[in-house]
């Protein structure tokens, strides 16, 4: 199974609601690597690498987020594969 990387931009009430921690835990559960970080415009950015099936499952979670999040939009696009050894919060 080939591995790919996708980048996501999540907007809405996604900072200060444990969104990054939840995304990290979901990525670990799915065996994905990458990173998640807060962006200055109030959004959250995720780069995740793994197989497409697990990336699709992550994207479903990104639309939901943790209980206190209010996700308005999730944009995604393919990015060149990068070898991450873990899924880190930045």
For residues 14, 18, 28, 71, the Cα torsion angle rounded to the nearest 10 degrees is -20
Please tell me whether residue 84 adopts helix, strand or coil conformation.
Answer: coil
Q: Is 21 a catalytic residue?
A: no
Q: In the predicted model, what is the mean pLDDT of residues 36-43?
A: 98
Mean pLDDT of the chain: 96
Please tell me whether residue 32 adopts helix, strand or coil conformation.
Answer: coil
Beta bridge pairs of residue 48:
6, 34
The pLDDT-based confidence of 1 (bands split at 50, 70, 90) is: low
Q: Is 68 a catalytic residue?
A: no
Ordered domains of the chain (ranges, CATH) = 4-81 (3.30.70.100)
Other CB atoms within 10 Å distance of the CB of residue 80: 6
In angstroms, what CA-CA distances link 74 with 44, 46, 81, 83? Answer: 10, 10, 20, 23
Share of the chain above pLDDT 70, in %: 99
Q: In the predicted model, what is the mean pLDDT of residues 57-75?
A: 98
**Which entry of 20, 21, 35, 68 is annotated as an active-site residue?**
20
**Which entry of 21, 35, 38, 68 is annotated as an active-site residue?**
38
Q: What confidence score (pLDDT) does residue 2 get? A: 81
């Amino acid at each position: 199974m080939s591995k790919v990387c996708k980048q996501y931009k999540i907007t809405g009430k996604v900072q200060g609601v444990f969104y990054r921690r939840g995304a990290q835990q979901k990525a670990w559960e799915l065996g994905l690597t990458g990173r998640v970080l807060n962006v200055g415009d109030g959004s959250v950015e995720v780069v995740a690498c793994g197989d497409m099936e697990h990336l699709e499952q992550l994207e479903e979670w990104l639309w939901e987020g943790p209980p206190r999040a209010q996700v308005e939009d999730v944009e995604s696009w393919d990015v060149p594969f990068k070898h991450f050894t873990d899924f880190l919060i930045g």
